[in-house]
Amino acid sequence: MNKQTVRDVDVAGKRVLVRVDFNVPLDKATGAVADDVRIRAALPTITYLREQGAAVILCSHLGRPDGKVMDRLRLAPVAARLSELTGLPVATTADCIGPDVEAVARSLAPGGLLLLENLRFHPEEEANDAGFARALAALADVYVNDAFGTAHRAHASTEGVARLLPAVAGFLMEKELEFLGSAVANPARPFAAITGGAKVSGKIGVLRHLLDKVDVLLIGGGMANTFLLAQGREIGDSLVERDQLDTAREILARSEDGRPRLELPVDAVIADAFDAGASTRVIDLAAEPVPAGWRMMDIGPETVRRYAQVLATARTVVWNGPMGVFEMAPFAAGTLDLARAVAALDAVTIVGGGETAQAVEEAGVAAQITHVSTGGGASLEFLEGRELPGVAALNDR
């Protein structure tokens, strides 16, 4: 990684503004943090800065308030959970900019923790407004970006403020860039990629970029349906993107010589409705069409076995996207079983954010994955080879 990190700056006695990704789910009944993975991921950077004598000012968004103040999206529950995790008091403010906030920031002692209110209560945040960025910069002497999950957005707190203060990466950002960067630039081989999710259109860039780099590409989820239809298979009422059939045919053609090897589902769990209570059965896709009125909802057990067999010799595996309608329990088995197979590999295994990260957690194997990315969209764009604005704005080494 060619960007400076917190190790490269002297923060003793300084106020450090840290962009974290505390966009965590809240319990609907209690309002408390329901999943603190992203908070815990930021602790190494927070602890290091405190130990170096910095006053630590944290800023984050939560949810999508669209520039309006929404009480249910205030960061007080996050501050409470951070306080529990650190055993330290965490000060909060009623806003994230302004004279009152500046006064609190100036009074923060070395080693102190302050969490600003939701950045996205201001429309200027997502607009990367220069004045809003200056107001954030006025709070601190140094800027640290430890929010990889938002690094693909050129917002005031990710890109704008980094142009105004000495700007470096936190430990989580560094870890994300090193794992994802080495996986794509210099992977141990064989290099396998697994991609799933609902749509081809959301991952065209990733697919095209990885085709030139991987040894094997395994496809599942709803996006596999478009590939199967492009091969002439009958897929019933399965989700399909007919406007992406040419893209699917192009990718299939590029893999015809086996470089890379392309794997599609050989069986599927089908259902007669898009519903957890629907009637289901498993069909062999080579022997039987998906009947009219039925749809593919998950990869079948033979596909899981085959994918696990293909992955057995891999030395690097990158996975983004579930293998089926993972949010419905009857159609989660393919994703969960594949997660267990990936976790058992003797390989560098990298899982990219969102539902895939949730899957390895639910399968009980997150600790066995080499790296679980905290950034869904950011990891996708990074794997596409795109420059991330929040990374590009940081100081070069």
Write out pLDDT tens, residues 61-72.
Answer: 999 999 999 999
- Whole-model pTM? 0.84
Query: How many Å is the Cα radius of gyration of the chain?
Result: 23
Q: How confident is the model at residue 209 (pLDDT cuts 50, 70, 90)?
A: confident
For residue 377, pLDDT beyond 80: no
Q: How far apart are CA 13 and CA 52, in angstroms?
A: 8
CATH topology of domain 179-383: Rossmann fold (3.40.50)
Beta carbons within 10 angstroms of residue 350's beta carbon:
26
The whole-angstrom distance between residue 3's C-alpha and the CA centroid of its chain comes to: 21
Q: What per-residue confidence (pLDDT) applies to 167?
A: 98
Domain residue ranges in the chain: 6-172, 179-383
Query: What is the maximum span of the chain, computed from C-alpha positions, in angstroms?
Result: 72
Closest CA to 221 of 306, 322, 294: 322
Q: What per-residue confidence (pLDDT) applies to 198?
A: 85
Question: Omega into 389 within 30° of 0, i.e. cis?
Answer: no
Q: How confident is the model at residue 107 (pLDDT cuts 50, 70, 90)?
A: very high
Lowest mean pLDDT among 167-176, 215-224, 384-393: 384-393
The whole-angstrom distance between residue 337's C-alpha and the CA centroid of its chain comes to: 21
* Backbone torsion region of residue 70, taken as left when φ is above 0, otherwise alpha when ψ lies between -120 and 50, otherwise beta: beta
Q: How confident is the model at residue 339 (pLDDT cuts 50, 70, 90)?
A: very high
β-sheet bridge partners, residue 102: none
**Which are the contacts of 362, defined by CB distance < 8 A and separation ≥ 6?**
332, 336, 339
Fold match between 6-172 and 179-383? yes
**Which are the contacts of 1, defined by CB distance < 8 A and separation ≥ 6?**
169, 174, 177, 178, 181
Q: How confident is the model at residue 184 (pLDDT cuts 50, 70, 90)?
A: confident
CATH hierarchy code of domain 6-172: 3.40.50.1260
Task: Go through 265-281 and write b for each residue having 16 or more CB atoms within 10 A of its CB, e for each that does not.
Answer: bbbbbbbeeeeeebebe
Q: Please state the rounded mean pLDDT for residues 11-40.
A: 94
3-state secondary structure of 372: strand
Q: How far apart are CA 143 and CA 67, in angstroms?
A: 23
Please identify every residue annotated as catalytic.
38, 199, 354, 377
For residue 109, pLDDT beyond 80: yes
* Strand order across the beta sheet in which 348-352 lies: 261-263, 216-219, 191-195, 316-320, 348-352, 371-373
